[in-house]
Amino acid sequence: MVAAARELSVSGYALEVDGRLKAEFATRDGAKTGAEELKKRFPMLQIRIYDAQTKTREDVELS
């Protein structure tokens, strides 16, 4: 059985975890905070913030 692919957001921001969209946020700050908290708990994951307006992705790294 194949799981349905989650649609890309048309507005706002989304968290992409290991290539799969997991959560949506209205603001970039909210997405960044969520991504940083997740990265601290699970540093081995590849986490990106997807910007629906510009259709770009930004890698999240711990500082």
Beta-sheet strand order (sheet of 47-51): 20-25, 13-17, 47-51, 56-59
How does pLDDT run across 33-62, given as a tens digit for each residue? 999 999 999 999 999 999 999 999 999 998
CB 12 within 8 A of CB 21: no
Domain boundary assignment for the chain: 13-59
What confidence tens digit (pLDDT) does each residue in 3-15 have? 444 566 678 999 9
Considering the entire predicted model, what is its pTM?
A: 0.81
**Residue 11 tokens, joined:** 């507005």
Neighbours of 45 (CB within 10 A): 12
Q: By C-alpha distance, which of 17, 5, 4 is closest to 50?
A: 17
Q: What is the mean predicted confidence (pLDDT) over 15-20? A: 93
